[in-house]
Structure 1
Amino acid sequence: MTTTTRSSYYSAGEHPHPEYELNRLREQALVFWPKELRNLQRLGLRPDMDVLDAGSGPGFITEQLLQNVPEGSVTGLELDTGLFEQSRSYLASYEGPRLNLVRGSITDAPLPDARFDLALARLVLQHIAEPAQALSELGRVLRPGGRLVVADADDALWGSIHPDIPGLAEVMELRRRHQAQRGGNRYVGRAVPAMMRAAGFTDITVEAIAVTSDELGMAALAGHLDVRARTALMVKEGVISEELVARTESEVTAFLDDPVSSFMLLMFLYSGTKPAGEPR
């Protein structure tokens, strides 16, 4: 994103519960990572690669990438000042030639052409108004033959809850509208393959990654059901009613107390190759 690009993600100091949000991002990174890594390796991630973590946030995925390219390097690109500073602090022990943290935009990156073997844009396209421009820019910074991997969501296929939490569907719909008003799109996943083709990528693939409470335990995913924390800004802005939040919060409590409850989250990996011989 350029400095004029809208982002639907929270700006520095905007989230009413910043510690919750940081913990949620950490949990979100770590619960998907084992399966995500296997897919990245299948898509060509090697220990000697130069990797771009585009939209690197507080650095949790940047750290995982560093640990899996011990002979290569990782560049974390993040526009938001608050998240960028958090990543600098979190990754301080990795300071050295293998780590480069850059403050800048995914749609106008202050990075050289053809610098990276693999670029990962993880849960970032849903937050920006110009995802096609971002994909084009990621193509520019990849080496010919390099691989782009986009990890993102499509809320039509977000996961599943059993037994049902009645108020959750309404909360999620209001969240989708709120994010759209802020410049994002929680349905962006379905458009990614076509945008990749338009940006010149070939060999496009799509994989689904599922994580479940049955595998990991409900505690590993329960933070994603913290309706009060996740909707605090929406309540503040009058987008969602306190009554709906309170009712759904009560339903979530009953769900978490039910010994037969099950919760699954889905994320999709979209990948494509920059054709060999393209210098851009």
Structure 2
Amino acid sequence: MAEHNTDHGYLLDNQESEAGIRFGALSELFDPVTFRHVDRLGITAGMRCWEVGAGSASVPLGLAERVGRTGAVVATDIDVSWTRDIGSGVIEVLRHDVAADPPPPGGFDLVHARLVLVHVTDRAEALRRMVQALRPGGRLLLEDADPGLQPLLCPDESGPEQRLANRLRSGFRDLMAARGADLAYGRTLPRLLREAGLEDVQADAYFPITSPACAVLEAATVRQIRSRLVAAELATDEEIDRHLANVSTGRLDLATAPMISAWGRRP
């Protein structure tokens, strides 16, 4: 695995063929959670929102519906190839690295990032820039995974298929950690928001234990990282084929890592 130790950056490249499938499954799983929080925070007509590391169109489009024509949504990502799905004049798309580039100008009522910071090597700087972009009274909503809290793909490890699934998931986590991902990042979000000077900080966590979208997500993810798992001797091609066949039956109860949502207000 030494070859991966200095290989920082995204393990799951947005431009690969499976990425669209993955983002669709992530939207199905987590958009209801994200927008439950967005609506609780009172994001309504006329507000300005920054969606960080958008990856797909679903969250920017949902924000655009809420802020209307008098509001604005800035959606940023290192790779903006997904923007062909956006037909809203409210949304401005920028190619942007949250840890290296200045925040988009203007100040925001909401800054939101979902499943982004766990993959960013300089997480502290990215968070500082997001807080800096908030207007007084603006809200920061960060949602990130914590694979360390619930590391299993199959929490009900009832047989050989489930044991194989969990071993491959462990290999995936090893690859992520070798690239600088913090697998215990989600749980730190409330403290980090308080340390950044935000007020009224709260958080909760969500993860599905069985969902058709979990199976779609798992198959696309494994196909995307297959060559890396084999190269790092974390799995054989035969094991990966067997696992994908097991997933396709629909009989495995597949989960995700918990997604922790934390939010706070700039004084």
Aligned to 1:222: 215
Report the residue type matching 1:39 in the other structure: H
Cα distance in 1 between the residues matched to 2:106 and 2:200? 19
Aligned to 1:234: 228
Cα distance in 1 between the residues matched to 2:139 and 2:23? 25
Task: Indicate the SS of the match to 2:93.
Answer: strand
- The runs of 5 or more residues in structure 1 that have no matched partner are 276-280
Cα distance in 2 between the residues matched to 1:239 and 1:12? 24
Q: How do residues 179-190 of structure 1 correspond to structure 2 at under 5 angstroms?
A: 179-190=176-187
Cα distance in 1 between the residues matched to 2:45 and 2:153? 35
* Higher mean C-alpha deviation, range 183-192 or range 235-244: 235-244
Q: 1:22 aligns with which of 20, 28, 31?
A: 20
How many angstroms does 1:31 deviate by? 2.7
TM-score w.r.t. structure 1 length?
0.79
Task: Indicate the SS of the match to 2:127.
Answer: helix
Aligned to 1:249: 244
Cα distance in 2 between the residues matched to 1:119 and 1:188? 18
How many angstroms does 1:67 deviate by? 2.0
Aligned to 1:269: 261
Cα distance in 2 between the residues matched to 1:205 and 1:247? 42
Contact 1:56/1:78 (<8 A) preserved: yes
Aligned to 1:278: none
Aligned to 1:86: 82
1:171 aligns with 2:168: yes
RMSD: 2.6
Q: 1:204 aligns with which of 201, 222, 227?
A: 201
* Higher mean C-alpha deviation, range 238-247 or range 137-146: 238-247
Q: 1:238 to 1:181 in 2, by over 3 A?
A: same
Contact 1:114/1:144 (<8 A) preserved: no
- The runs of 5 or more residues in structure 2 that have no matched partner are 1-6
Cα distance in 1 between the residues matched to 2:47 and 2:213? 31
Contact 1:75/1:102 (<8 A) preserved: yes
Cα distance in 2 between the residues matched to 1:186 and 1:179? 8
Contact 2:64/2:73 (<8 A) preserved: yes
Contact 1:73/1:99 (<8 A) preserved: yes
Aligned to 2:4: none
How many angstroms does 1:239 deviate by? 4.5
Contact 1:167/1:251 (<8 A) preserved: no
Contact 1:202/1:273 (<8 A) preserved: yes
* Higher mean C-alpha deviation, range 47-56 or range 223-232: 223-232
How many angstroms does 1:25 deviate by? 0.7
Query: What percentage of residue pairs aligned between the two structures are identical?
Result: 25
